[in-house]
């Protein structure tokens, strides 16, 4: 049990370091050694957990979606379902992205790789498929009793949410002043309101704040 916990702790540490290094140096400028130095672990340990640089890049992003899915699933088991639960999960996702603003350029870097590095396309496609599937399953969990009332099916809604969050992340990557950050926060608030107002057909809930 202790060995498993230590493994997860090391992976989390490495992924956070990878987010910072890729964000600061880009894909080509970053290296496994630099990530290892940032995380305070050996290069061999990084290779042991993630094998290649491109896998490390994608796994750092997957971690965010997996954490969101875990929170949604556990909340649903506790009876936290419906629109308010969905908005709470969305807020948690945005807070995790916002709190690690230095990692925003790293996300943008990943998005750009899809068209630049053909050898990475299968892994990037797999990343998109997994992240979308996790979001779709999360939507099904929180709207289990209202699936028929969703404005669009969970799989299509998941794609839409992923695209919107990626767009906000691109904006976050360009933040330089507090005014810039307020503008991005307002964009998220506006998106959240639209989601709350229109995710369910004929939704009677009026207070979603």
Residue 116 clears pLDDT 60, i.e. is over it: yes
Residue 120 clears pLDDT 50, i.e. is over it: yes
Q: pTM here?
A: 0.74
Mean of the per-residue pLDDT values of the chain: 84
Q: Using an 8 Å Cβ cutoff, are 25 and 34 in contact? A: yes
DSSP 200: B
- Give the model confidence (pLDDT) of 86-104 as tens digits: 999 899 888 877 876 666 7
Residue 122 clears pLDDT 90, i.e. is over it: no
From 193, 198, 194, 195, select the one nearest 209 (Cα to Cα). 193
Q: What is the pLDDT of residue 202?
A: 64
Q: What is the pLDDT of residue 127?
A: 81
Q: What is the pLDDT of residue 103?
A: 63
Query: CA 71, CA 111: separation in Å to the nearest integer?
Result: 25
Query: CA 74, CA 140: separation in Å to the nearest integer?
Result: 13
Mean pLDDT of 114-134: 79
Q: How far is CA 51 from CA 10, 33, 40, 96, in A?
A: 14, 12, 18, 26
Mean pLDDT of 131-147: 92
Residue 153 clears pLDDT 70, i.e. is over it: yes
Query: CA 197, CA 205: separation in Å to the nearest integer?
Result: 9
- Give the model confidence (pLDDT) of 157-203 as tens digits: 999 998 898 889 889 888 889 999 999 999 999 999 999 999 998 64
Q: What is the pLDDT of residue 57?
A: 79
């Amino acid at each position: 049990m202790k060995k498993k916990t230590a493994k997860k702790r090391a992976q989390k540490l490495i992924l956070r370091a990878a987010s910072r290094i890729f964000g600061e140096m880009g894909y080509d400028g970053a290296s496994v050694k630099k990530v290892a130095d940032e995380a305070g672990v050996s290069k061999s340990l990084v290779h042991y957990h993630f094998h290649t640089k491109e896998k490390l890049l994608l796994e750092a992003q997957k971690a965010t979606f997996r954490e969101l899915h875990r929170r949604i699933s556990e909340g649903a088991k506790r009876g936290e379902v419906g629109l308010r639960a969905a908005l709470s999960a969305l807020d948690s996702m945005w807070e995790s992205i916002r709190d690690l603003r230095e990692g925003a350029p790293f996300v943008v870097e990943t998005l750009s790789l899809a068209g630049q590095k053909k050898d990475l396309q299968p892994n990037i496609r797999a990343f998109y498929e997994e992240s979308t599937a996790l979001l779709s399953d999360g939507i099904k969990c929180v709207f289990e009793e209202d699936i028929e009332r969703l404005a669009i099916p969970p799989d299509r809604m998941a794609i839409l949410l992923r695209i919107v969050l990626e767009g906000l992340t691109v904006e976050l990557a360009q933040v330089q002043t507090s005014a810039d950050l307020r503008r991005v926060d307002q964009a998220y608030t506006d998106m959240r309101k639209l989601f709350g107002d229109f995710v369910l057909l004929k939704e009677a809930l009026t207070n979603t704040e």
